[in-house]
Structure 1
Amino acid sequence: MEYESDFHVEPGPRVLWAGMDGVLLRFALTPEPEAMVATQLLAADLERSPPAGTVEIAPGLVSVLLRFDPVTTRRDVLAREISARAAHILQGPLDRPAPARRWTIPVAFGDADGPQLAEVAQAVGCGPDAAIQQICEADLRVLVIGFAPGQPYIGLLPEAWDLPRQSELTPTVPAGAIVVAVRQIVMFGAASATGWRQVGRSAFRSFRPERDTPMPLRAGDAIRFVPVPASEIEALDKADDGLGGARLEVLR
C-alpha cells in the first residue's frame, strides 16, 4: 500500500492527499465489484472505530475520504492507519457487510413512468416483466450518496445489466425517476437531465430539507423495490412526508 501527495493513474489501492485536511483511500480507478465491497467494509470499520482526530468519514463507490482535525492528528499518521486497515481488509474474505436497515419502496414500472423499460429489457436479453422481476429480486444496497443531496446510487444489478450510458442526454426525467446503467440504479429526488435510461418512477424523495431527517437513505442500506400500479404512485405523490409509501426495517 502506498500513500502519496500526487494523483497516480495506475490501478491498485493508494492513499492520496485531499485538500488541507483530507486523506483519501482509493481501492481502484473504476467501479469494480470487489473494490466496492472493500470500500463498504473499510467505511464500516472506520465508522465503528474512527481514527483519532477524524471529523468526517465519506465513502464513495471505490474510495473513502477522511477529514481530520490538524490540531489533534497528522496526515501521515492517519494515512498509515487507514492503509493498514485497508490492507487487512484486502486479505479477505471480501464479503459485503450485512445491512443494518432495509427500505421497501413502491415503484411503477414501464409505460409513462418507465418509457425505456422495453429498450432496457431487450438489451439485457429478456422481456419487460422479467426485467422488472430481476430489479425487484436483486440484492440491492445504497452504494453511495452523491451528485445531488441525498441521491442514492444503488446496486449491483446482475452482470447482464452492465449497460452503457446513452450517447445523448435525456433533457429531463421527473422527480422519483428510476434510471439504470452500469449495473446501478439512480433514484432521482428532483427532476433532472440524465444519460441513464428510465425504467420506472417512485414517489420517494431522497431529500426534503423540511423533514426531521432531510436525507433518509444511508450508504449500506438495503433496497427492495416493489412493483405497484401507476395510480398508486400518483396517490403516494400527494403525501406530505415525501417517503412515497416506503417502509423502513431496522435489521440489527
Structure 2
Amino acid sequence: MSVMTDTRALDPEVLPVGLDGYLVRFALTPEPAAMTAARRFATRIEEATPEGVVEIAAALVSVLVRFEPSVDRALLQTHLTGMAEEIVSGPLDLPAPTRRWTVPVAFGGEEGPQLAQAAKAAGLTVTQAVDEICAADLRVLTIGFAPGQPYIGLMPEHWNLPRMSELNPSVPAGALVVAVRQFVLFGAESATGWQQVGRAAFRTFVPERAEPMPLRGGDAIRFARATADEIARLSEDNDRMGGAQLEVLR
C-alpha cells in the first residue's frame, strides 16, 4: 500500500565517511520526499546487500553504508550512486511493509496532557485528532536518538506542528509525542520539545528481552485507543510489550 507520494526533485549525494563508509544523503532537511527516498534506499540495499557491506544504518534522509577494507571503493560508490538516482527518479512511494504493529495508546488526560493543544494547532477537535491518529497508516521512518526509539510518520500536512519553544523537562516512558508530522514513542523517561498526546505500555527498548528492540525501520504502525486503566494493566507485562500485536504481512 502506498503511504505517501512526493515527486519533488531530489539530488542525492554519496559522500565518503572515514576509510570504510559512504553516506547516501537525499537532502539536508527532513522533507517528505527525502524521507521516502531514504527508506526506499535502505529497504533495497538491505534486501540485496552488495558483497563486502557490513553495516547499513538508516536515518531520516540518509543511509550510512559501511564496508570491509577489501571492497573496491570506486565500484561501490558507482553502485550506490546509481541506486540512489534510480530511486529519486520515482515513483516516491514507501515500499510495501513486511510487518505491521498495532500499539494500544491512551490519549489525553494525564496520559496525553497536550492532546487538546496539539489538536487545536492542527485545526481539529480532540475527537477528530484521535480519530485521525488511529486511522493513519504510519511507518517507522527510522530508529535513532536513543536505543530502539522510533520516528513514526507521516501524518497529513495539517499535523506539521512546530516543536515547542521550551523543552518539556520530562515525559514518562511510553509517552507518545508529536511534531513535524511525526510521532516519537519514548522507551524511557526523557526531555522533549514535542507535545505529549498519549502514552503506551509498549517499551521500544528492554535490554533483557529476547529481542531488545522489536521495531524495525519500515515497519507499519497503527495506534489503537485504550483507556488509562488498560495501559496501567498492560504495563504489568514482564516483557513490556504492552499489548502490542505484530502481524507479518509477507
Q: Specify if TM > 0.5.
A: yes
1:97 pairs with 2:95: yes
Match of 1:79, as an amino acid? Q
1:151-230 matches, cutoff 5 A: 151-230=149-228
Deviation at 1:12, TM superposition (A): 2.8
CA distance in 2, matches of 1:191, 1:74: 44
Q: Over residues 70-123 of structure 1, what are the superposed CA-to-partner deviations in whole Å (9 max), with x where a residue is unaligned?
A: 12x033222111001111112211121111000000000000000000000110
Q: Is the 8 A contact 1:100 1:221 kept in 2?
A: yes
SS at match of 1:15: strand
SS at match of 2:246: strand
Deviation at 1:154, TM superposition (A): 0.1
Q: Over residues 208-245 of structure 1, what are the superposed CA-to-partner deviations in whole Å (9 max), with x where a residue is unaligned?
A: 11111000000000000001110000001111011100
CA distance in 1, matches of 2:19, 2:30: 26
User: TM-score when scaled to structure 2?
Assistant: 0.94
Q: Over residues 127-181 of structure 1, what are the superposed CA-to-partner deviations in whole Å (9 max), with x where a residue is unaligned?
A: 1111011111111000000000000000001100001101110010000000000
Deviation at 1:52, TM superposition (A): 1.8
Provide the residue aligned with 2:4 in structure 1.
none
Q: Is the 8 A contact 1:23 1:78 kept in 2?
A: no
Match of 1:119, as an amino acid? Q
1:109 pairs with 2:111: no
Match of 2:56, as an amino acid? I
User: TM-score when scaled to structure 1?
Assistant: 0.94
Provide the residue aligned with 2:130 in structure 1.
132
Provide the residue aligned with 1:8 in structure 2.
none
CA distance in 2, matches of 1:95, 1:176: 29
SS at match of 1:107: strand
Provide the residue aligned with 1:6 in structure 2.
none
Provide the residue aligned with 1:4 in structure 2.
none
CA distance in 1, matches of 2:93, 2:152: 17
Provide the residue aligned with 1:66 in structure 2.
65
CA distance in 1, matches of 2:40, 2:21: 20
SS at match of 1:144: strand
CA distance in 1, matches of 2:205, 2:18: 27
Q: Is the 8 A contact 1:23 1:75 kept in 2?
A: no
Q: Choose which of 85, 95, 116 in structure 2 pairs with 1:118.
A: 116
CA distance in 2, matches of 1:151, 1:165: 18
Provide the residue aligned with 2:13 in structure 1.
14
Q: Which runs of 5+ in 2 are unaligned?
A: 1-9
Provide the residue aligned with 2:146 in structure 1.
148
SS at match of 1:82: helix
Identity value in percent = 61
Deviation at 1:38, TM superposition (A): 1.1
Q: Which runs of 5+ in 1 are unaligned?
A: 1-10
Provide the residue aligned with 2:235 in structure 1.
237
Match of 2:64, as an amino acid? L
Deviation at 1:15, TM superposition (A): 0.9
Match of 2:199, as an amino acid? R
- How many residue pairs get aligned? The number is 241
